[in-house]
Amino acid sequence: MTLDIAWNSAQEIARAIRAGEISPEEVAEATIARIEKYDPGLNVFSVFDPERIRAQARAISRRLAEGEDVGPLAGVPFAIKDMTAVKGDPQTAGLIALKDSVPDHNAALFDRLIDAGGIYVGKTTVPEAGYAVYGESHLFGATHNPWKPAHTAGGSSTGSAVAVASGLVPIAEGSDGAGSVRAPASLNGIVGFKPSLARIPCTVLPTRYETWAFHGPLTRTVADAALMFQVMAGPSEQDPMSLPDDGTDYLAEIEKDIAGLRIAYSPDLGTGYEIDPEVAEVCRRAVGKFEQLGATVVEATPPWARPEDAFWHSIWVPGFSAERDLIDWDAWEGQIDPELIDLIKEADTVAVSDYGRANLARAQMYETFVEFMRDYDVIVSPSLTHAAHPHGQFAPDHLLGQSVQRQLLGWLLTYPYNMLTVPAISMPAGFTEDGRPIGLQIAGRKLADAEVLRVAANFERVHSPWTDGARPDLAPFES
């Protein structure tokens, strides 16, 4: 095959490098050239050092020349989200107040990607404090959706998703507290996988014992997501809750078929949210592919009540309470989103009793989910209720003017799985009539990461824009 570095998968690039068909230096130069051509318009990278990329490529070439097995990511370029620690590179959380904050260590997952032979390209943009599915910040500005100029790329793994969707890198890391991997994956037409809690050591939060934050891969293929996940997963002293390696070969698992599986399809995941008719129709048609693959699909929804309130009071508001001491929020007024400041201040108003009741509701949701999933292998839904909206809007049109809670969460079907701590993946399902991507979410039982990836891989074989040759038109972003 002819290698197209911009659009081939990580697996294909690594295979070609190991076979001597292309050198790490050639991959590095092609990556640098493409980023320099398109990133000024897209606004993806917050840290980008071409000479460091070249040095890594030369080092991998030397190791290959000496006969060394450099790892499964041999020479593959990858990007890291701003909020994940890379020693010596700014870790700003998208805040002007933290623009000079530089960690003195690497996140465990970063070292693992390097040890697997990957080439670190740089860090990617995020909204302020990673608090919203909103690809803008006062520090970085707006990061653009490659499929639809002047529209949101989502968040909070904003730049990572766009880097993959626009062919700047084949794989990128993101983190997910309410859907921050899956939501931008949905809006940018790529694969975004949130694994089970503690599969990948989580270092995005300093508190370490949170049960709603995750790291995960953003890729164009499920095989690349499985490969990247397999590299990043496993125990680490950085995360006291990280799980041991159970020996699963995820790349082998995704080759299995799904004949005989029972799949629940929920149009709104029990949220009661308004679903855009185009999103609903595209996802309903996409779900029909599972029956072609030999699975049985039943429309069914877990019988829980108001998951949004449980999430808001048990996770989201308390989760931001620790950030009230991060900076002097009032002093930075005008240089921080007012919605974020409102959220930080609301954290001080939540009573212990409210928090306790919300955690009880979260536990009841988990029990409901466990009972519901006795009848199903996976559950499928839209990832988001709407496709990308224009820049400058905090949320889709129908939510504007409502509470911060509703504008933040009222179009996400992703956050229930942060509460439940179970694996979930967003897959490209199709496009709106005007070309905006729509995502389909697949979730599974506790620790059923392999099964979720297997179902996603089977779906991809019969329904993927990347294998069908669809590509965003990047001409508007060319420098």
User: Of the residues 9, 46, 137, 156, which is catalytic?
Assistant: 156
Measure the CA–CA gap between 235 and 204, rounded to whole angstroms.
16
Q: From edge to edge, which strands make up the β-sheet containing 214-219? A: 45-48, 119-124, 77-81, 171-176, 214-219, 191-194, 424-431, 437-444, 378-382, 262-265, 296-299
**Are the CB atoms for 188 and 145 separated by under 8 Å?**
yes
More confident residue, 240 or 208: 240
One-letter amino acid at 144 equals H
Q: Taking residues 437-449, what's their average pLDDT?
A: 98
pLDDT of residue 1: 55
Going by C-beta distance under 8 Å and a sequence separation of 6 or more, which residues neighbour residue 284? 265, 267
User: Which pLDDT belongs to residue 305?
Assistant: 87
Q: Sorting pLDDT into bands at 50, 70 and 90, what band is 229? A: very high
Measured in degrees and rounded to the nearest 5, phi and psi for residue 215 equal -100, 155
Per the CB < 8 A criterion, the answer to whether 134 and 127 are in contact is yes
Per-residue pLDDT for 247 more than 80? yes
- What torsion, rounded to 10 degrees, do the Cα atoms 124, 129, 135, 140 define? -60
Rounded CA separation 117/158 (Å): 25
Closest to 424 measured CA to CA, from 409, 403, 446: 446
State the average pLDDT over residues 312-332.
85
Q: What is the pLDDT of residue 342?
A: 87
**Average pLDDT value for residue range 149-156:** 97
DSSP 8-state symbol, 314: I
Per-residue pLDDT for 111 more than 80?
yes
Assess whether 156 carries a catalytic annotation: yes
Residue 402 amino acid letter? Q
pLDDT > 80? residue 2: no
pLDDT exceeds 90 at position 352: no
Give the model's pLDDT for residue 468: 87
Residue 160 zone, left/alpha/beta (φ > 0; ψ -120 to 50; rest): alpha
Residue 320 binned pLDDT confidence (cut-offs 50, 70, 90): confident
Nearest to 162 by CA among 136, 124, 193: 124
Rg value, the chain, Cα: 21
CB crowding 165-175: b at 16 or more within 10 Å, else e: bbbbbbbbbbb
In the numeric block, the tokens 């979260």 are attached to 362
Rounded distance, CA 445 to CA 329, Å?
A: 40
The tokens 């074989």 sit on which residue? 461
Statement: residue 459 has pLDDT above 60? yes
Residue 462 contacts residue 441 (beta carbons within 8 Å): no
Q: Which entry of 9, 46, 61, 81 is annotated as an active-site residue?
A: 81
Give the start-end residues of each E strand in 313-447.
378-382, 424-431, 437-444
Helix (H, G, I), strand (E, B) or coil at 397: helix
Name the β-bridge partners of 264.
298, 379
pLDDT of residue 206: 80
Distance, CA of 369 to CA of 63 (rounded, Å) = 49
pLDDT at 162: 98
Mean pLDDT of 49-54: 98
Residue type at 288 in one-letter notation: G
Whether residue 356 is predicted with pLDDT greater than 80 in this model: the reply is yes
CA distances in angstroms from 217 to 50, 176, 182, 298, listed in the order given: 23, 10, 10, 29
What does DSSP assign to residue 202? P
- The least confident of 83-87, 202-206, 258-262 is 202-206
Q: What is the pLDDT of residue 318?
A: 87
Distances (CA, A) of 413 to 32, 89, 93, 268, 355: 36, 33, 24, 7, 22
- Could you confirm whether 81 is annotated as catalytic? yes
pTM for the model: 0.98
- Classify 450 as helix, strand or coil: helix
Instruction: With cut-offs at 50, 70 and 90, classify the pLDDT of residue 207.
Output: confident
Mean pLDDT of the chain: 96
For residue 84, what are the contacts with CB-CB under 8 A and spacing of at least 6? 91, 107, 109, 110, 123, 173, 175, 203, 204, 215
Catalytic residue among 61, 180, 426, 464: 180
What average pLDDT does this structure show over 162-185?
A: 98
State the CATH architecture for 10-477.
Alpha-Beta Complex (3.90)
Amino acid letter at 364?
Q
Q: Determine the pLDDT at residue 347.
A: 81
The mean pLDDT value for 90-111 works out to 97
Average pLDDT over residues 69-88: 98
Please state, for a pLDDT cut of 90, what percent of the chain lies above it: 89
Tell me if residue 160 is catalytic: no
Q: Give the type of residue at 355.
A: Y
3-state SS of 15-68 is HHHHCCCCCHHHHHHHHHHHHHHHHHHHCCEEEECHHHHHHHHHHHHHHHHCCC
Give the residue-averaged pLDDT of 290-299. 98
End-to-end CA separation in angstroms for the chain: 30
Closest CA to 215 of 110, 125, 137: 110
Return the minimum-mean-pLDDT range out of 63-72, 157-166, 313-322. Answer: 313-322
